[in-house]
Structure 1
Amino acid sequence: MHNLKVGQKIEIYIEKMASEGQGIAKYDGMTVFVEKAIAGEKVQAEVSKVKKDYAVAETIHILEASLYRVEPLCPVYNLCGGCQLQHMSYEGELIFKKNKIEDALKRIGSIEVKVNDVIGMNSPYYYRSKAQYPVATVDGKAVMGFYKERSHEIVPIKECMLQNRQAENIAMEVLEFIKEFNIQVYNENTKQGLIRHIMTRYSKSTGETMVVIVARENNLPHKDELVNRLKKYDGFAGLALNINPQDTNVVLGNKNIFLYGKSRIIESIGGLKYYISPQSFFQVNPIQTEILYSKALEFANLQGDELVIDAYCGVGTISLFLARRAKQVIGIEVVEKAVEDAKENAGLNKISNADFIAGKSEDIMKDLKNRGITPDVIVVDPPRKGCDDAVLDSIIDMAPERIVYVSCNPATLARDLKKLSKKYCIKEVQPVDMFPRTSHIECVVLMTNVKNK
């Protein structure tokens, strides 16, 4: 029986790291998750939470430091929940992320397979092309920033070291406009106020920035003044007002009113162009996105005569990469607006051998199978929850030669690979660091049919 209490200070050795980046230790028989601690360190920590089976503690002093410990560059790192790993060197971060994937495959999937070293960035800062800044009132002043970890308390920021600097300067100008004209910002407790978020979308290929102000109603005072201010910034391409009257954690509402300039911008990845509108899903790291999609294309090993199914195709980003090497690509996506965007992106790139179907992947794949359509390759890029069981069943039933699985969550990847491994052999696992300085990691896996083993 443990005797840990909230507020208690303990000296503890960090045995390993959790998937979200906390250190894991044992104290008095209790598992303790230690924030901002690294495997191999001895730290003094203060207990902040005690549950039946585990406790949480905050690092106070480093008694024996890891070789990978560094001083965080961000001045609000210990407050903001946006990053989890700035106290580690980037070398240490990439090792952690590789271990995270290996651990998930072994522990959840009962899979022991070689995992390649993570493909990282030359510079792991200022890489994000999309930012969503919540806005609130702190000490009587409007501020924008990011939430503290596991809270809705905003940490005001002047510069985020992950965001594109040009886009962030434009966002800061919007904040100054809000303060100068005393425009009321939204209060989550009273449900009153107008401005909820400031969002920016930046194109690395064109240098353009779109600004989206998320408001509770269609009423932005002095909007012409704001447009005139933003026009002074290089790359400012458009201003939209997004209306979100709902009491929800979802940032964007369904309605956009375009106040100035373009309603969408264009990003280029690997020689392909993609439209980006306020609601478009698009990877936030264009440099690493090209690497990730190129690796998926390499794993697909297309010779020009294949039929490829791209399940969870979104706005057709991977589909169009594949279409340049395949005979035909069929993209499937449940979100109808994304399918419309995918068709437009195909037209933008003059690609005619990519078809997009709106619906559930398992339903569409079953229908295709019943019609005698059998793919040579199936690519999946599901959300964090992974593939639905019915999708995995459909994949196995269609029996493609190869499966390329793109994942943003090692845990659900491991779960899904365990099921697919009954009929497929894992050939290669390649992590790509899409989100440096955070605990998140993307991974692309090649599987081949066991009959071709």
Structure 2
Amino acid sequence: MNTALCSSFGSCASCVLGSTYKSQKQLKIARTKELFSGIWQACGFAGECCFFETNESGFRSRAEFRLWHDESGVHYAMSRADKKPVIIETCAIVDAKISALMPRILEKINRNSSLKERIFGCEFVASSDEVLAILLYHKDILSIKTELENLANELKISLIARSKGKKLVFGSEILNQKITVNSRILSYKISPDGFIQPNASANEKMLNFVYSKLANHNKKDLCELYCGHGNFSVALAPLFSKVLATEINKASTALAKQNAEQNGVKNLEFARLSADEFAKALRAEREFKRLKHLELSSYDFSHILVDPPRAGCDESVLNLMMEFQNIIYISCSQASLKRDLEVLAKTHKITDFALFDQFAHTNHIESIVLLKKIKFLA
């Protein structure tokens, strides 16, 4: 990325890699090989590390901006490396729908003193055909409810406003996302209050990669931990006899159930449990009322899929994973992934390792690792 693509590059701390995208790709692959070479050897991986590219611009479907006040009005801002603000006129990496809305909503805010006063942030979420704006205030939003409603109506958008302990919704806070997996168009309901894959195109590539790799596996039932709104479980359910997915967030679990229903998935059940709680339930170490609708003994799991937060998996979850014949590990942190693979290498070998570039011009990389059991612990 360079100033030809974004005038703020070099001052905004969001994008930090200024080389060509080809060079960025080579850098991320080289770093991965250096970090994981020992793990690959320990896990018997001799294959190619696949790399899935992203677009250089317009790829972010979720974006968060500070709002900076000066004598000329309110401006979008990002942080520099020293945390000081840098004014953002445009942002090259956001979805086109977000890019189009940004100047329109800012103009309306600057023209209305009530909307402008004590606003400190603006977030955007885009789906296939929709866009949602979220305004953040350091004052009681109930005092400007009419102005906020007028803003949403004038721009013909869905709008959320938040202040301490308060939330107003104009329109719908649920967006509809379409993703094609194995030539099948899936429709998901997504919410800004839950985890959303911030690069929809990369997410589609991730889903299709896992689907294609599992197509030739001997499969029975699938267990998924950290399922969110059902992103992977809904897409992969046709490959398995039965699927059981867990998620601790109540709102995400409710959306996941809706997503399964609206896509006609009949073999998928959800349980509102943390990964650690599910590990205890599966080993019959503890009973949970939230599992009364399920008979865990009826499942014959051949695969487990985990998509944990950046911190990775804790010890109880890793011990559970090691009992499964096949593991699909999706990771947003190569540091925690390496740590966890060092444990899983005791029982499993790596069969596939793929990189998905969610964010061009940054050091971030998403990884998907498939592992197969080679031995049982004594």
How many residues of Structure 1 are paired with residues of Structure 2 in the alignment? Answer: 355
Matched, 1:292 2:206: yes
**8 Å contact kept, 1:323–1:354:** yes
**1:322-401 → structure 2 map (5 Å cutoff):** 322-370=236-284, 372=297, 373-396=299-322, 399-401=323-325
Matched, 1:134 2:48: no
**8 Å contact kept, 1:110–1:418:** no
Q: Deviations over 1:49-101 (max 9, x none)?
A: xxxxxxxxxxxxxxxxxxxx97663111111011111x111111111111222
Q: Distance in 2 between matches of 1:391 and 1:119?
A: 28
Q: Which sections of structure 1, spanning at least 5 residues, go unmatched?
A: 1-68, 186-192, 246-252
Equivalent residue number for residue 133 of structure 2: 211
In the TM superposition, residue 223 of structure 1 has moved relative to its aligned partner by: 2.7
In the TM superposition, residue 128 of structure 1 has moved relative to its aligned partner by: 1.1
User: What TM-score, normalized by structure 2, do the two folds share?
Assistant: 0.86
In the TM superposition, residue 138 of structure 1 has moved relative to its aligned partner by: 3.3
Change over 3 Å in CA distance of 1:313–1:228 after alignment to 2:
closer
Q: Distance in 2 between matches of 1:72 and 1:115?
A: 34
Q: Which sections of structure 2, spanning at least 5 residues, go unmatched?
A: 285-295
Equivalent residue number for residue 175 of structure 2: 265
**1:171-210 → structure 2 map (5 Å cutoff):** 171-183=102-114, 194-204=118-128, 207-210=129-132
AA in 2 matched with 1:439? N
Q: Distance in 2 between matches of 1:425 and 1:334?
A: 29
**8 Å contact kept, 2:175–2:189:** yes
Structure with the higher fraction of residues in helix conformation: 2
Equivalent residue number for residue 20 of structure 2: 89
Q: Distance in 2 between matches of 1:105 and 1:150?
A: 31
Q: Distance in 2 between matches of 1:363 and 1:277?
A: 25
Equivalent residue number for residue 146 of structure 1: 78
**8 Å contact kept, 1:307–1:377:** yes
Which secondary structure does the structure 2 equivalent of 1:324 belong to?
helix
* More relative contact order, 1 or 2 (CA 8 Å, 6+ apart): 2
Which secondary structure does the structure 2 equivalent of 1:91 belong to?
helix
Q: CA RMSD in A?
A: 2.5
AA in 1 matched with 2:327? I
AA in 2 matched with 1:430? A
AA in 2 matched with 1:263? E
Which secondary structure does the structure 1 equivalent of 2:113 belong to?
coil
Aligned residues: percent identity? 25
**8 Å contact kept, 1:368–1:374:** no
**8 Å contact kept, 2:62–2:94:** yes
Change over 3 Å in CA distance of 1:136–1:368 after alignment to 2:
same
Q: Distance in 2 between matches of 1:156 and 1:203?
A: 26
Larger radius of gyration: 1
Q: Distance in 1 between matches of 2:28 and 2:70?
A: 36
Q: Distance in 1 between matches of 2:195 and 2:247?
A: 12
Equivalent residue number for residue 116 of structure 1: 49
In the TM superposition, residue 401 of structure 1 has moved relative to its aligned partner by: 1.7
Q: Distance in 2 between matches of 1:90 and 1:109?
A: 26
**1:403-414 → structure 2 map (5 Å cutoff):** 403-414=327-338
Q: Distance in 2 between matches of 1:355 and 1:292?
A: 22
User: What TM-score, normalized by structure 1, do the two folds share?
Assistant: 0.73
Which secondary structure does the structure 2 equivalent of 1:98 belong to?
helix
